Amino acid sequence: MSGHSTYVPKSAVGRWFESRLPVMGLLHSSFVVFPNPRNLNYFWTFGGILSFMLVAQIVTGVVLAMHYTPHADMAFNSVEHIMRDVNYGWLIRYLHANGASMFFIAVYIHIFRGFYYGSYKAPREILWILGVIIFLLMMATAFMGYVLPWGQMSYWGATVITNLFSAIPLVGETVVSYLWGGFSVANPTLNRFFSLHYLLPFMIAGVVVLHIWALHVPGSNNPSGVEKQTEKDTLPFHPYFTVKDGLALVVFIMFFSWFAFYIPNYLGHADNYIMADPSVTPAHIVPEWYFLPYYAILRAVPDKLLGVIAMFSSIAVLAFLPWLDTSRVKSATYRPLYRQFFWVFAIVCVLLGWLGAKPPEGGYVIAARILTAYYFAHFLIILPLLGLFETPRRLPGSIAEAVLGKQGSANAMASGAAAAPNTKG
Amino acid sequence: MTMINSLRLGAAALAAALVLSAPVKAAEGTVQPPRQSWTFAGPFGSFDSTQLQRGFKVYREVCSACHSIQLLAFRNLAEKGGPEFSEAQVKALAAEYKVKDGPNDSGDMFERPGRPADRFPPPFANKQAAQAANGGAYPPDFSVIAKARTYERGFPWFVIDIFTQFQEQGVDYITALLTGYEQPPAGFQVPEGKYYNEYFPGHVISMPQPISDGQVEYPKDADGRPQAPETAVQYAKDVSAFLMWAAEPHLEARKELGFKTLVFLLLFAGLLYFTKKRIWSRVEGHAHA
C-alpha cells in the first residue's frame, strides 16, 4: 500500500496474474518489505492482535449463528443448547463471549499507546479518526451481542441503553421505537439486534482496511515520535515484525485462554444466566466491564439528555484529539509534564470504570462527577495548555540515533559499534 | 523514567486509590457464604461422580417436587464427566417418568414412559401453576442456577480471583442458602408464610427449610454405613455439586483442553521467543527487546 512494489513473481502464472491483478505485489509491499521503524516496542503489537481478534470473533460468531435462534422465546435455550449439545459448542461460545472482552482489552491498550506516544498527531489524523470510528462500531457490536443470549442483563441492559435515545429532542421517541421495533424491548428488538450484530463486524473489517491503508502512508509512529528518514531508521516488516507480532500474539492468546478455559464466566454477569423476564428488574443493572467508564459518565450528570450528551462526547472528543493537543512533540518520553498527566488520566479512566459498577448514590456520585469533569478537562483544558507551557526534552535527530546514540548512528554500518543507552519504551 | 517504571508507579497509585476508596460502603446487608472445598475447583478440577450421584438423589427426592431442571436430559446422567450412571440405569430411571408426547395419528396427546433422550419433565405444567402451588413464589428452574447465583466479592478479591481461578461463588452460595435457615434476629419482622435465611439477599425467602438431617438415604458401603454422612450439610454440598455439573456439564472437558492448550501455547511461545531473539540479533543496537 506504500506504492512502488519490488515484487517480482517467480512463476509464469504468477507474472500472468500479477500483470492483471497486482494483489500479491500489494501484500508484498505492505506486509513483507514494508519499512517499519526499528524501535517499535511491544505496545505496537496490539494492531496485529486486534486484527486477529476481529477474525476470531467473526469465525466463532459465524459458527454460533449456525446454532443460535434469534427469538425471544428460544434464544436463551438455544445458547444453552450450544453449551450442552453442540460439539465443542461450549468452547466456541466461551471463546466468543470472552473474545469480546479480549478485543476491548487489546483496543484499550492500543488507544492508550496512541495517547502516550502521540500517534494521533500529524500526519496521522485520519488514521486516528478511522480508529475512533472502529471503536464506536466495536461498542455497538459488543452491546448488541450481549443482548443476544436474552438473559436478564441482556434484556435490562438493552432497555436502559435504548431508552437513552429517547432523550434526543423531537425525534427521540421515534428513534427508540425504531430501535425496539415496537413499544418495548421484545422479540423484534432481538431480531434486529441479531441482524445488526452480524452486519457490523464486516463494516469494522472495511474500516480496518482503511485504517491500515492510512497507516501505510506515513508508516507507524514509534516510541521516539521522530519520523523515519533514512533506511537506517527502519527494518523490513518481515521477518522482524512478523516474528515480534507473532510472539506477542501467542502470549496474548495464552492470556485469552486463561479466561476462556478456566474462568469463562468471570467477565460476565451471573444474572445473565437467568432468562429475560420483563416483570422482574435485577437489583443492579450493570453493563459489561468495557462500558463501565462511560456508564459512570452517563450517570454522573443529573439531567438525562445532558448525561447522554456527556457519554457520547466522551468518545467524540477523541476525534478532535489531534487538534486539542497543541504540543509538536509526539512521544511522552520527551514530554515530562504530559507523561504525568497521561498516568493521571489513565487512573481516572480506571476509577470511572470502578464507579460505573457501583450504585449511583452518595459518595460514588460525587466521585463520578469529579472524575467526569477531569476526563473532559484532560482533553479540553490540560492538553491545549500543556503544549504551550511545557518544555520538552531534546529530541533525538533520528530513530537510529534514538536506538544507537549519536556516535552509534554515525557508524551504524560499522560493526561492533558501542551499544548506546537504550532509550526505547 | 521508562514506560515500565511509569507503569509500576501508575499501578501502585491505582491500588492505593482503590484501597482508600473501598470502605465507602460495606456489603449491602448480605452475608458472605463460607468457602467450601470442591473437587471441581482449580485448573485440574473434576467432578466426583459418586458425589454427583448422591446430589442427584437429593435433587430427585427433595428439590424436584417444586424445581424443574428442564435443560437436563436423562442421557446426560450417563455422559462422561458427570454422575456417570450406566446406560441401563439411565434407561430404567427415564422409564419411571411420564413424558407427554404426541399428537398421535388420531390427533391426541398422550403420556408414555420416558426415554434417555427426553429432558426431565417439570413438576408443574406452567409458571402460573407453579406459583399457585407455592404461595405466589416461582421456584426457579435448576438447569443453570449454579451459574446464575453469586455474591459480591469486593476489592481486592475480584482481582485475586483471576489468578486463583475462583469460580465457585454460585455453589458456595447455594450450599450456604440451604443450610442458612435461622431464627430471625430480635426485631426482624418476617412476613407470614415467609422464612428467615442468613444468606438470601434481604433475608426473607419464600422457600421453607428444604432439607434436614437423615431425610435422604445414601448408598451404603460394604460395612453397611452410608458412603457420606446423612446430614443436611452434606446433602447441601452434594446437591450443589450436582447443580454445578448440570449448569456446566462440560466443565471437565473444558479444563482438560485448557491445560493442553496452555502447554502447547507455552512451548510455541518459547520457540517463537528464541526465533525472535535469533532474528533480531542480526540488528545492531537491539539487545533483543
pLDDT in tens, chain B (289 residues): 454 555 455 455 444 444 443 333 334 457 899 999 999 999 999 999 999 999 999 999 999 999 999 999 999 999 999 999 999 999 999 999 999 999 999 999 999 999 999 999 999 999 999 999 999 999 999 999 999 999 999 889 999 999 999 999 999 999 999 999 999 999 999 999 999 999 999 999 999 999 999 999 999 988 999 999 999 999 999 999 999 999 999 999 999 999 999 999 999 999 999 999 999 998 877 654 4
User: 3-class DSSP state for residue B195?
Assistant: strand
C-beta of residue A200 within 8 angstroms of C-beta of residue A53: no
Q: What is the pLDDT of residue A419?
A: 39
Kindly give, in sequence order, each residue whose CB lies less than 8 Å from that of residue A300, ignoring residues fewer than 6 positions away. Answer: A307, A310, A365, A368, A369, A371, A372
Q: What is the pLDDT of residues B37-83, one digit of tens each?
A: 999 999 999 999 999 999 999 999 999 999 999 999 999 999 999 99
C-alpha to C-alpha distance for B38 and A272, rounded to whole angstroms: 24
- For residue B101, give the H/E element and its range: strand B98-101
Write out residues 265-304 of A within 8 Å (CB-CB) of B: 265-266, 270-271, 273-274, 283
Helices (H), A258-361: 292-300, 304-319, 321-324, 336-356
Is A18 tagged catalytic? no
User: 3-class DSSP state for residue B192?
Assistant: coil
CB contact under 8 A, A247 and B43: no
Could you tell me which of A37, A375, A333, A225 has the C-alpha nearest to residue B5? A333
C-alpha to C-alpha distance for A345 and B88, rounded to whole angstroms: 64
Across A15-39, average pLDDT: 94
Kindly give, in sequence order, each residue whose CB lies less than 8 Å from that of residue B209, ignoring residues fewer than 6 positions away. Answer: B181, B195
Is A361 tagged catalytic? no
Count of residues making up chain B? 289
Q: What ipTM describes this predicted complex?
A: 0.91
| Nearest-neighbour CA in chain B from A257: distance (Å) | 7
**Cα B123 to chain center, whole Å?**
22
Half-sphere CA count of B85, side-chain side, radius 13 A: 20
In A, minimum Cα distance to B3 occurs at A425
Is A378 tagged catalytic? no
Mean pLDDT of chain B: 90
Is A245 tagged catalytic? yes
Q: In sequence order, what DSSP letters do the residues of A216-272 get, joined into one string?
A: HTT----TT-PPP-SGGGEEEIIIIIHHHHHHHHHHHHHHHHIIIII-TTTTS-GGG
- For residue A35, give the H/E element and its range: strand A35-37
Alpha carbon of A384 to those of A33, A65, A83, A344, A348: distances in Å? 38, 47, 51, 16, 19
Separation of first and last alpha carbons in chain B:
17
User: Which residues in chain B have Cβ-Cβ distances shorter than 8 Å to A350?
Assistant: 14
pLDDT of residue A418 exceeding 70: no
CB contact under 8 A, A263 and B165: yes
CB contact under 8 A, B255 and A262: yes
In A, minimum Cα distance to B270 occurs at A247
The type of residue at A368 is A
Q: What is the pLDDT of residue B116?
A: 97
In B, minimum Cα distance to A239 occurs at B279
Q: How confident is the model at residue A417 (pLDDT cuts 50, 70, 90)?
A: very low
Domain coordinates in residue numbering, chain A? 33-225+237-285, 298-399
Helices (H), chain B: 3-21, 49-61, 87-95, 127-133, 145-148, 157-164, 169-178, 232-247, 251-280
Looking at A5, A78, A154, A220, which residue is catalytic?
A220
C-alpha to C-alpha distance for B24 and B16, rounded to whole angstroms: 14
Separation of first and last alpha carbons in chain A:
28
Percent of chain A predicted with pLDDT > 90: 92
C-beta of residue A223 within 8 angstroms of C-beta of residue A331: yes
Q: What is the pLDDT of residues A163-208, one digit of tens each?
A: 999 999 999 999 999 999 999 999 999 999 999 999 999 999 999 9
C-alpha to C-alpha distance for A311 and A308, rounded to whole angstroms: 5
What's the pTM value of the predicted model, to 2 decimals? 0.92
Judge: domain B23-72+120-249, CATH 1.10.760.10. Answer: yes
Q: Which three cell numbers stand for residue A156?
A: 435490562
Q: What is the pLDDT of residues A292-335, one digit of tens each?
A: 999 999 999 999 999 999 999 999 999 999 999 999 999 999 99
Q: DSSP secondary-structure letter at B194?
A: -
Alpha carbon of A11 to those of A6, A30, B17, B25: distances in Å? 15, 21, 63, 71
| Nearest-neighbour CA in chain A from B272: distance (Å) | 6
Q: Is the peptide bond before B156 cis (omega within 30 degrees of 0)?
A: yes
Q: How confident is the model at residue A410 (pLDDT cuts 50, 70, 90)?
A: low
Helix %, strand %, coil % of chain A (to 5): 70, 0, 30
CB contact under 8 A, A90 and B266: no
Q: What is the pLDDT of residue B155?
A: 87
In A, minimum Cα distance to B254 occurs at A261
Mean pLDDT of chain A: 94
Mention the CATH class of domain A33-225+237-285: mainly alpha
Q: Which three cell numbers stand for residue A246?
A: 507473532
C-beta of residue B239 within 8 angstroms of C-beta of residue B173: no
User: 3-class DSSP state for residue B66?
Assistant: coil
Kindly give, in sequence order, each residue whose CB lies less than 8 Å from that of residue A96, ignoring residues fewer than 6 positions away. Answer: A57, A60, A61, A64
C-beta of residue B161 within 8 angstroms of C-beta of residue B153: yes
Across A196-223, average pLDDT: 97
Q: DSSP secondary-structure letter at A290?
A: G
Could you tell me which of B9, B92, B281 has the C-alpha nearest to residue A342? B9
Report the residue from B170, B250, B285 with minimal CB separation from A403.
Answer: B285
